[in-house]
Structure 1
Amino acid sequence: MSELSVFKGRCLCGTVSLSTTHINHHIAACHCNMCRKWGGGALLGVECNEGVRFEGEENIGRYQSSEWAERGFCNKCGTHLFYKLKENNHYYIPAGIFDGDEGFIFDLQVFIEEKPEYYAFANRTKNMTGEELFALFASDSSNS
């Protein structure tokens, strides 16, 4: 039996740590207005389906940013910890939280129509509008 890889990370002050064995190594940049307000720029997140575990959970603040999602942050240092879809506990975790680069590949940008002109990434990526992203989520949930 092979041993599962455990990916670990923590907030800036170390009060909250996380671990997961389920990580998608593809980074997506979300340019939606809400992500940019939350962090001052695009959210560079990795998808973590299930098995996300937190230590120091009593220090996690949660903000219900929409009917379907919440955002988590450290109450001590303010580090952004996750964007979570409530329906299926599907996490998007900022790539920079993890202890190493974990072999990440930046290859997707979403809400590209909301990206301001004052920045651009050099990576070649697939670009999706918010409408295209919501249509993809709708088709994924109907196939379940």
Structure 2
Amino acid sequence: MKGQCMCGAVTVTAELARDNLTACHCEMCRRWCSGPFVAVEAKPGAKITGPAKVVQTSDWAERAHCAECGSGLWYRMTDPAGPHRFAAGLFDTGEMPIALEVWIDQKPAGYAFAGERRQMTGAEIVAFFTGPSDGAGR
């Protein structure tokens, strides 16, 4: 898929890992987007050109935006193997459904997506990425 930010200064060419969307309701994504961050996951090797400004927003993740127009571009765990989760609005995602909502326990009551999908709380997400308490991780 090919996509771009609002002004066209940043372009992205990526092969999607799935044909569905994910919505994150965590406090940081809501501050960043003024709502949930709706994303597509890309396979490794995405080509990104243009003035992307990358900001490390936690001990484990970075977010990026266009340095020209401010469009949100991606969320990525700083683990080198971590996939890019690109803002869905960069691409023509057509009828792609939202298959997963994360940090559902931080979602404000003022909005909801229609339909059924998998939902995970913040604790479930942390447990998924940190793995067993023996430190083995995932």
Q: Could you say whether these structures have the same fold, taking a TM-score greater than 0.5 normalized by the shorter chain as the test?
A: yes
Give deviations 1:24-81, integer Å, cap 9, x for gaps: 222111000000000100001111131111111xx11111111111000001000000
Partner of 1:3: none
RMSD: 2.0
Partner of 2:90: 97
Q: Select which of 15, 18, 37 maps to 2:31.
A: 37
Pairing 1:1-144 to 2, within 5 Å after superposition: 7-56=1-50, 59-87=51-79, 88-98=81-91, 100-101=92-93, 104-139=96-131, 142=136
Q: Shift in Å at residue 102 of structure 1?
A: 5.6
SS at match of 2:127: helix
User: Quick one: which amino acid aligns to residue 78 of structure 1?
Assistant: G
Write the distance in 2 (CA, Å) between the matches of 1:129 and 1:120.
Answer: 15
Q: TM-score, normalised by structure 2?
A: 0.89
CA contact (8 A) 2:21 2:40 kept: yes
User: Quick one: which amino acid aligns to residue 14 of structure 1?
Assistant: G
**Structure 1 gap segments, 5+ residues each:** 1-6
How many residues get paired? 135
More off after superposition, 19-28 vs 78-87: 19-28
TM superposition outliers: structure 1 runs of 4+ over 3 Å: 139-144
Write the distance in 1 (CA, Å) between the matches of 2:42 and 2:115.
Answer: 22
Write the distance in 2 (CA, Å) between the matches of 1:136 and 1:71.
Answer: 21
Write the distance in 1 (CA, Å) between the matches of 2:127 and 2:54.
Answer: 27
Write the distance in 2 (CA, Å) between the matches of 1:47 and 1:123.
Answer: 21
Q: Shift in Å at residue 21 of structure 1?
A: 2.0
CA contact (8 A) 1:60 1:75 kept: yes
